[in-house]
Amino acid sequence: MPQHFDADVAIVGYGPTGVTAALTLARHGVSVLAFERDEAIYPRARAVTVNDWTMRIFQSLGIDQWIAAVIEPQRALRWTTYDGTEIMRVEHPPSTLGAGTRFYNIYQPTMEAELRACAAEYGGLVDVRYGAEAVGLEQDADGVTVTAADAATGERRAFRARYAIGADGGGSAVRGMIGARLLGDTLDVRWIVIDCRVKRWWPDRDVRSPPSSRR
Ligand SMILES: Cc1cc2nc3c(=O)[nH]c(=O)nc-3n(C[C@H](O)[C@H](O)[C@H](O)COP(=O)(O)OP(=O)(O)OC[C@H]3O[C@@H](n4cnc5c(N)ncnc54)[C@H](O)[C@@H]3O)c2cc1C
């Protein structure tokens, strides 16, 4: 009996990994139904650097020029005091991939927004359900059933796909749903992440009185 599939591939989680998977599949004509628990992109910085291999992936997806417009090459890391005295400098060697620098500075929410905008160009192939949390995943001989709960109403609905990808981050629920376990080590330590507005050093200005808008 012919089966109905909502999409070829269901993707759980629409962060950078999920969007990159969606772009890769859509580029090959494979339809995607993505479930993203959150309505909006996670607003804090998290990743600040990606390397040239990440840019190579974006290049293979034909979106490197769009991503390049919202990130910036990182040629060196410099630590300076407020008066401009350099304390430490790490120069990066050039990329071995033939073009560009080895590292790029990013602001993850901005880069994610650009990735999503690129995926939205594949409107007919990439269907994203925001505010939909995958709460169940069952595989059978023909495909996968993903049960998603609406964040607003709690209403649950089942969707069918031929395959499913768990791209739901470090605390992946999909991992538990398929009976897999985290491989490798993880460090159980407490981190403090501080996002702050930097008072910039302008060589041509009096550093003791930066413009008030930067304070
Ligand atoms: C402080 C900090 C600094 C970092 N610095 C760097 C760095 O410099 N360079 C670097 O490369 N990486 C860095 N990282 C790591 C980087 O942020 C992650 O590797 C990246 O976000 C992983 O992307 P992802 O798509 O796999 O997962 P996530 O970004 O976690 O995305 C997973 C998505 O899945 C959704 N989701 C989860 N469960 C469900 C569910 N059941 N149903 C539907 N949706 C679900 C979540 O809402 C989320 O949007 C840093 C991370 C932190 C915390």
144 - beta bridge partners?
139, 161
Least confident piece of the model among 79-88, 188-197, 200-209:
200-209
Q: What is the mean pLDDT of residues 157-182?
A: 96
- Find the radius of gyration of the CA atoms of the chain: 21
Q: What is the mean pLDDT of residues 111-125?
A: 95
Ligand 1 centre and the CA of 172: distance in Å?
10
The CB of 143 under 6 Å from ligand 1? The reply is no
Answer yes or no: are the C-beta atoms of 74 and 105 closer than 8 Å. yes
| pLDDT exceeds cutoff 90 at 53 | yes
Q: How far is the CA of 78 from the centre of ligand 1 (A)?
A: 27
Closest-CA residue, ligand 1 atom 18, reads: 47
Mutate to test the pocket of ligand 1, among 46, 48, 50, 71 (most ligand atoms within 8 A of CB): 46
Measured by CA distance, the residue closest to atom 6 of ligand 1 is 47
Whether ligand 1 lies within 6 angstroms of the CB of 6 is answered as: no
pLDDT band at 211 (very low <50, low <70, confident <90, very high): very low
Tokens of 197: 């507005």
Q: Is the pLDDT confidence value at 44 over 90?
A: no
* φ/ψ (deg, to 5) at 60: -65, -20
Residues ≥6 apart with Cβ < 8 Å to 198: none
State which ligand 1 atom lies nearest to the alpha carbon of 48: 8
The pLDDT of residue 200 = 67
12: pLDDT strictly greater than 50:
yes
Over residues 95-103, the mean pLDDT reads 89
Strand partners, 32: 9, 126
What is the distance in A from the centroid of ligand 1 to the CA of 168?
8
* Cβ of 116 below 6 Å from ligand 1: no
Q: Widest CA span of the chain, in angstroms?
A: 77
Q: Is the CB of 22 under 6 A from ligand 1?
A: no
Report the alpha-carbon distance of residue 187 to residue 105 in Å, rounded: 25
For residues 76-87, one letter each, b for 16 or more C-beta atoms within 10 angstroms of the residue's C-beta and e for the rest, the string is: eeeeeeeeeeee
Assign 203 a pLDDT band (cuts: 50, 70, 90): low
**166 CB less than 6 Å from ligand 1?**
no
Average pLDDT, the chain: 90
Helix, strand or coil for residue 160?
strand
The structure tokens listed for 120 are 């939205």
Helix (H, G, I), strand (E, B) or coil at 163: strand
